[in-house]
Structure 1
Amino acid sequence: MSIASTFRLFHAGWVLAREGAFSVLPAQALPPMMKAGISMARLLERRAVRKTGSIERLNAALHKLGPSYVKFGQTLATRPDIVGIQAAADLSGLQDKMPPFDPKLVPGILKTALGDKAAQLTEISEPIAAASIAQVHKARLRAPGEVPKLVAVKMLRPGIAERFHADTDSLYAGARLAETLSPASRRLRPTEVVRTLDHSMRLELDLRLEAAAISEMAENIRNDEGFVIPQVHWDQVAQNVLTTSWMHGIPIRDHAAIDKAGIDRKALAAKLLQSFLRHAIRDGYFHADMHPGNLFADPRTGDVIAVDFGIMGRIGKDERRFLADILYGFITRNYRLVAQRHFDVGYVPKTQSVEDFALAIRSIGEPLHGRTAADISMAKVLGQLFTITDLFDMQTRPELVLLQKSMVLVEGVARTLDPDLDIWTVAEPVVGEWLRREEGPLGRIEDLAGHLSRIGEAAGRVPALIAQAELALAEHRAMVNRPRDRLMRNTVLVVLFAALGLILALIWRVLVGS
């Protein structure tokens, strides 16, 4: 832990406390230690913040601290049910209304990144949106032999990589400090969580990877309805420049404009939530930065338009099954299933009682059933979750951090569109369809195909193992008169034939089991 990163950490804490960042957290719902920490931090608030409760300067403070802090503020802005309506409104400017960088730098950035092809981008506008990592301009793409197209040109902020690395150094310092000073925090694995977020944001700093993410998601959703994404213009893509088709839409937070366009906000909220769940559960690949600045409504179709694919989440088959079972368990009020899945993936240690944990889950789930979003206090729910995680010594799964953060974002945006949102009713068609498919003949066939593929891979290694065994045997025979090498050669033979036997046994077991 370097002195510089520790200093940046304490400086960030000082700035956040002065500007009222801790005043927006639901202190009353948090554990006593966290509540005490927030109370101490609030002693440092500026008098104006303490007197009025206004945090209008917090946006600027977060921007100065760095992109990682802005991301945190963006998440809070989607949860007026937790931080309050005024605080969420004050923080919403972090989503796409940050100060842009000097427009005089744009031509040079494009020329350096794209070379001669930069000249094909004409009529470049002033920044349409500016966020913590990049800003977006509208332009006209005039490629030779093609009809001119309206496009969106995204450019990374100059020097953003250095700011990001400084951020993550201080976050690592904070995580290690927490683990040192608070042994109880170690079960939350703060360093591993920071490492996961660090990796996702490193990917965000290469727009070629974002272009690839758009391409992959386009293939996944090609037969879907209700969710639309832009197309990539690959000739105008570089590490710090991304060019896509221009998407005409109404910002999803502009409820008045959405209503004026005759778009059903309840249907829009359902499309947003169901699309996210479909991407996560069916594809295992989802947009992990779905704050309102990245979401629009198509005025013609009422579909959801998503942009900015810099942060993507990916989960495996086991994690997808875990998510589906958890949601289905809450939908059907099967709390034993919910509890068992938490044990299966390692969230809860085996030393705990499944039945007791199911009872704790029931205490959260039952009050939520039959209630609309407007009737649910997420601050109280979070407080109860904190208590339960401590009571059952729950462990953090770092690979699920992006999924959990994204669900908070999406559910927050959906409930602002539809205050009467019933998440269980909306989620059931997607979750139920996937589980029925997985348990049905098609799911079984796909599982069998996966087994056969692994068998093929294993069988493909058998000839090489046999060749190695024959070679070892030949060497053994040639050296049979060298007693000192005999033991080693015999050992090699045993290991090789044992490996071959294991592979053949595995193939037989899978064939019999299928």
Structure 2
Amino acid sequence: MEALRGPHNLLRLIRTGATFERTGAMAEVLEALDAPRPLRVAIRVLAAPFRWLGYEGDPEMPPATRALTALGPAYIKFGQILSTRPDVVGDEIAVQLRVLQDRLPPFPTAQAKRAVAIELGQPVDKLFSEFSEPVAAASIAQVHQARLAETGETVAVKVLRPGIEKAFRRDIDAFYFVARMIERLVPGSRRLRPVEVIAHFESVVLGELDLRLEAAAAAEFAANTHDDAGFEVPALHWHLSGRRVMTLKWVEGISAARTAEIDAAGHDRARLAERVLQLFLSHALRDGYFHGDMHQGNLKVGPDGTLIALDFGIMGRIDEYTRRVYAEIIFGFIRKDYRRVAEVHFEAGYVPADRDVDAFASALRAVGEPIFGMDASRISMARLLNYLFEVTERFGMQTRTELILLQRTMVVVEGVARTLDPHINIWKAARPVVEDYIRDNIGPKAVARDLGRTVQVLSRFGPRLPALAEAALVRQSHPEPPAPKREMPPLAWVAIGAGLTAAAGWIASLV
């Protein structure tokens, strides 16, 4: 089956390059990424003959946005991530790509109403006294403002795009094809586990395509963050939610991307930037459950300065051990204790044991030192990420698929914080959250708590301990005789002999 899909996927990839060339995005992206001139020329020469295969897209859109929207939802997702990284793709492209967060072309309201009626089993007019045109449209779904017929409450109704599942499956299939080709043609890339990365991306996306899972995620996230000052998760209406429809309380606020409006409303952007970063770290470390798609389009600033989270289709979960490792790594960087950061990587198995700890610590120092004491506006994240990649390659570090979403979200959150405050010092902002976590979860206090949990687990087996001990003593005093060897039945020998004879005859006929 994969062989049959190969040509289709190859055509899809050629069409991707052709679309970038046809829309003018190719030259723009290569320039923004500061690609070497020989590479730019080579890519343009290779793409030019296939230009006619590319999608034209909407000529009213800027080149990069035009290309990604023409290619489909998976590409749009990728563009959403890049929109938070002006330090990687440049300010101009980052601004262009923000359109992908919540201002894509909507599908007709009539289709949305039909989907709601089918999903909830009742006509829209019976459920809602008002149902607006789309107020926001993203890659997977769009949102309508509505008023409940029963109570008059204003709500947000999220509806999946028609045919979105098929579109994502087509793109993910092509991504798998690319990942397998990379592994075969570039053996050194296997440490990065490209196929596993795509598998992780697939699982995340498929979770977004079932709004019942998003509703459950929103409810859990709301419970975890209930006591977080200055943070809100809109309340969910379970009886008006299903696989393709989800209904939430309507919240008023300014998109985190609209910095001029935030300033006009009198909010402190530097404080908001700090809060975004601290809340994310708090959710990841304290709860092990965090918003995995925290770009500007999914954050609003309420009238009182409260940060309001939206869109819970991508949520991340990390276990307690990984949280401790992650916290120690961050804390080590904050304290400039690169030796300890290196040791944590080795203890966790992130770096092969045969590598040199001191050499790895020196490499980490070269990453950390240039960014301490600098505000974010003077740091080139593109160069930093490039050097980090070189370090991981040199020391044979493999991609940790369980950390992919955490790392990606950290990059996105930092991008949001930098948009709000270009001069933010991420280490200074992170320090109080990480120190609190370290104090409570690493050290004597944590050891005592872990021992208490261990005793609690063992105590559950208390009533069974006498019987288990007695069974163990019986086995020790009366060991079971070794199991007799099973003889091959005579009929089996006949069958094997006949098979070997037939195989010998077939080989002889070939010769």
**Residue 64 of structure 2 contacts residue 93 of structure 2 at CA under 8 Å; is this kept in 1?**
no
Which of 95, 99, 102 aligns to 1:89? It is: 95
User: Which of 202, 208, 213 pairs up with 2:217?
Assistant: 213
Give the Å deviation of 1:384: 1.1
Deviation readout 1:137-179 (Å, 9 max, x if unpaired): 1101133xxx321100000001101111111111111100000
Contact 1:25 1:82 (8 Å CA) reproduced: no
Q: Alpha carbons of 1:280 and 1:394: their partners in 2 closer, same or farther (altered >3 Å)? A: same
CA RMSD, aligned part only? Answer: 2.9
Q: Report the secondary structure of 2:236's partner residue.
A: coil
Q: 2-side partners of 1:100 and 1:463: how far apart?
A: 67
**1:126 maps to which residue?**
133
| CA distance in 2 between partners of 1:384 and 1:150 (Å) | 49
How many equivalent pairs are there? 468
The letter for the 1-side match of 2:483 is: M
Q: Please report the TM-score for the alignment, with normalisation by the length of structure 1.
A: 0.84
Q: 2:306 aligns with which of 296, 303, 308?
A: 303
Shift of 1:57: 3.0
CA contact (8 A) 2:324 2:441 kept: no
Indicate which of 37, 40, 46 corresponds to 2:42. Answer: 40
What residue number does 1:324 align with? Answer: 327
2:19 to 4, 15, 19: 15
Secondary structure, counterpart of 1:126 in structure 2? strand
Work out whether residues 324 and 442 of structure 2, in 8 Å CA contact, stay in contact via their aligned partners in 1: no
User: Does 2:313 correspond to 1:314?
Assistant: no
CA 64–461 in structure 1, closer or farther in 2 if over 3 Å, else same: farther
Q: Which residue of 2 aligns with 1:51?
A: none
1:164 corresponds, among 153, 168, 175, to 168
User: Could you list the runs of 5+ residues in structure 1 that have no partner in the other structure?
Assistant: 48-53, 478-484, 491-514
**Which range is displaced more, 463-472 or 227-236?**
463-472
Q: Which of 411, 415, 419 matches 1:416?
A: 419
* Partner residue, 2:363: 360
Gap change, CA 1:310 and 1:259, over 3 Å in 2: same
Is the counterpart of residue 70 in structure 1 residue 76 in structure 2?
yes
Kindly indicate whether residue 232 of structure 2 is the aligned counterpart of residue 228 of structure 1.
yes
Distance 1:76 1:448, change over 3 A: same
Offset at residue 368 of structure 1 (A): 0.6
Post-superposition shift, 1:56? 1.2
- 1:338-487, aligned counterparts within 5 Å? 338-439=341-442, 442-456=445-459, 487=482
Q: 1:456 to 1:21 in 2, by over 3 A?
A: farther
1:385 to partner: Cα distance: 1.2
Structure 1 range deviating more: 392-401 or 464-473:
464-473
Contact 1:58 1:91 in 2 (8 A): yes
Q: 1:438 to 1:117 in 2, by over 3 A?
A: farther
Contact kept in structure 2, 1:77 and 1:88, CA below 8 Å = yes
Code of the residue aligned with 1:384 in structure 2: it is Y
Identity of aligned residues (%): 46
Whether the 8 Å CA contact 1:152–1:244 is kept in 2: the answer is yes
Contact kept? 1:26, 1:379, Cα under 8 Å: no
1:95 is paired with a residue whose SS is: helix
The answer on whether the counterparts of 1:23 and 1:42 sit within 8 Å (CA) in structure 2 is no
Alignment match, 1:24: 29
Q: 1:62-114: per-residue Cα shift (whole Å, max 9, x none)?
A: 12322211111111111111111111111111111111112211221111000
**Equivalent pair of 1:226/1:275 in contact (CA under 8 Å):** no
Give the deviation of 1:319 after TM superposition: 1.4
Instruction: Pick from 267, 271, 287 the counterpart of residue 263 of structure 1.
Output: 267
> Any idea what SS the aligned residue of 1:203 has?
helix
Amino acid at match of 1:123: E
1:139 is aligned, of 141, 146, 159, to: 146
Cα deviation for residue 5 of structure 1 reads 2.8
